Homo-oligomer: A and B are copies of this chain.
């Protein structure tokens, strides 16, 4: 919607449709800009306190820069605070923002505080990168290896546990609680991978693994064949015990901040080295007409373009 009305600008080297936007401002240098808004009624799961909500808002923004290989240089935060929040809530928000920014090594240098009916934490990040170094959603080539920086399904399992099964937050298995309440962005990994020169395309997985694979497919004009679905142990355990499909949790869950990258086959070793054991090869890039498919138990299944649906409560 925004994309159509605002059109594209020659100044924007990267515009709508990628994880971040970027403008050229100095020979070979890009200013990278990102904004992502956390809304209380749709982005804060039951049992999450204000400290963790604020930190999550930081993580969601950082993860998009991580996927492009960009270290945040400075950030801004605009808050919409419902009148019902206590002084303690507000101070938790400030502390959670501060903790998140410190974790990822950048200062929050300005902001704007407002009253609003919904809790809104809108963060904007600014970073700098050499144009030749930035990793985009486009760029994957047939034959490249598809890899992720971790496993999937824990956050989805945690959210299903809280929302469908009404499990109390403090009864959640530790790995699921961690995934839901205290997610982490792969910033160091993203910056290192960008530096390796081995990555041809990259995206963050916050809208879900399936959605992100489809985005890579669309923006790079390629197909993807997944042969080794990276499902977390915690998600598998939850699926078995509660009658869920673990593959669906990994593919169509969301709110997980891993990176999905495509790597030049000849530089796979280099990418593995810089990732220090964190890179999981999950498949290969194929031709566009193949679509996005999962090869499992001798059968090929189409991966749907379905993302994580925000929850309401």
Contacts and interface: CB of A to CB of B under 8 A. Distances in A.
Contacts of A78: 35-37, 122, 124
Contacts of A122: 35, 37, 78, 120, 122
Oligomeric state, in copies: 2
The main secondary structure of chain A at its interface with chain B is strand
B5 A97 contact: yes
Interface in A11-57: 11-12, 14-16, 20-23, 25-26, 31, 33-37, 39-43
Interface string A61-79: 0000000000001101111
Contact of A94 (B5, B25, B95): B5
A107 B11 CA distance: 8
Interface string A253-293: 00000000000000000000000000000000000000000
B107 A9 contact: yes
Contact of A74 (B16, B33, B94, B113): B33
A79 B20 CA distance: 16
A116 interface: yes
B110 A16 contact: yes
10 contacts: A1-B90, A7-B98, A11-B109, A14-B109, A31-B73, A31-B126, A34-B76, A37-B120, A39-B80, A42-B116
A-B interface, 8 closest residue pairs, ranked by CB to CB distance from nearest: A5-B94, A21-B110, A9-B107, A124-B124, A117-B118, A122-B122, A37-B78, A21-B109
Given A6-B101, A37-B79, A37-B120, 20 more contacts: A2-B94, A2-B111, A4-B94, A5-B95, A5-B97, A6-B97, A7-B98, A11-B109, A14-B109, A15-B109, A23-B126, A31-B31, A33-B76, A33-B126, A35-B78, A35-B124, A39-B115, A42-B114, A78-B124, A80-B80
Interface of A: 1-2, 4-7, 9, 11-12, 14-16, 20-23, 25-26, 31, 33-37, 39-43, 73-74, 76-80, 90-91, 94-95, 97-98, 101, 107-118, 120, 122, 124, 126, 128, 310
